[in-house]
Chain A
Amino acid sequence: MLGRFGPGVGTQVVAVVYHQPNRNMATLKAISIRLKSVKNIQKITQSMKMVSAAKYTRAERDLKAARPYGEGAVQFYERAEVTPPEDDPKQLFVAMTSDRGLCGAVHTGVSKVIRNRLSEPGAENIKVICVGDKSRGILQRLYGKHIISVANEIGRLPPTFLDASQLATAILTSGYEFGSGKIIYNKFKSVVSYAQSDLPLYTKKSIESASKLTAYDSLDSDVLQSYTEFSLASLLFYALKEGACSEQSSRMTAMDNASKNAGEMIDKLTLTFNRTRQAVITRELIEIISGAAALD
């Protein structure tokens, strides 16, 4: 019947009839590709966990040395009973995060505290300084108008006092005259836990009008000015150290969980791979045996 139409049609019909590949063989290859990629991912997350464990030990040691800076500054404010001024509603929030991700909920925790405060009424007087690209990314969509400064290159290296001084100088020269402020950071509690906390920022005016300032002697305007600047830098330094320590411990936990999940996926995939392999072998055997039986 095909001969009536000539040889051209015949070749076309032959070309259309192709050999359907065995479905189980194709999925076997797909499973092995998936298995290889999940194994690579597990290796990567395990090595990231080791790296952040090393960085965490160093960060915890640095934090122990940096605690006196933060606690001393806070103690001064408490003993002198400094309060934010009632007549100046302008506030400054500093979001202490970093540039690097894959570290659990550290950045979203800090940004959530600021977001909740900014969504409440009376938020026009609050300006934000984002330390670290992560908080900038989270806040810039809805609250971009509140951001007055962004600091980069945080998180790659351990923070130094010079970093904190640069931030403090940026705050002092930003041109934004705030009455009081807060540094929102992650306070390190233990290897597995951290929590958002805040440190107060005051201006020289609030300190001068503090009730119990007379508890400290030999204070004049110059000394108070210098001390305000220095305590700003030391509070920022302390918050940077605490944030770095919380971030490394959180990254360690996150990468450990990721490795465990990858391990579970590998187990499940290995089982399906073996089952598929056995099914392929059985199918081939059936074909061979039924082919042999047909010859009889």
Chain B
Amino acid sequence: MSAWRQAGLTYINYSNIAAKVLRRSLKQEFRAEALKRDESHVRVTPWANGRPARKLFFETTFNTYLKRF
């Protein structure tokens, strides 16, 4: 079993990390255009019972704390 799968990553996470490293290692003239592909603005919210699912306050603040590191 691959090390990354044991660490809890999916193949999608694994290939995205590899792609990020590749984009950062490009030469200066190709970097800017490649880095444009490195952003994602999609926001997914889970729904339950026809309304957005309510997350616990602690969970949301903990997640935002985690996202900064």
Contacts and interface: CB of A to CB of B under 8 A. Distances in A.
Interface of A: 140, 144-145, 147-154, 156-157, 160-163, 165-170, 172, 174, 222, 225-227, 229-230, 232-233
B51 A152 contact: no
Contacts of B14: 226
A134 to B, nearest CB: 15
A152 B41 CA distance: 8
A154 B47 CA distance: 18
Contacts of A226: 5, 11, 14
B45 A150 contact: yes
B29 interface: no
Contacts of A156: 41
Contacts, number: 83
B25 interface: no
Contacts of B19: 161
B50 A144 contact: yes
A233 B42 contact: no
A217 B6 CA distance: 24
B16 A165 contact: yes
Contacts of A225: 5, 11
B61 interface: no
Contacts of A174: 46
Nearest to B16: A165
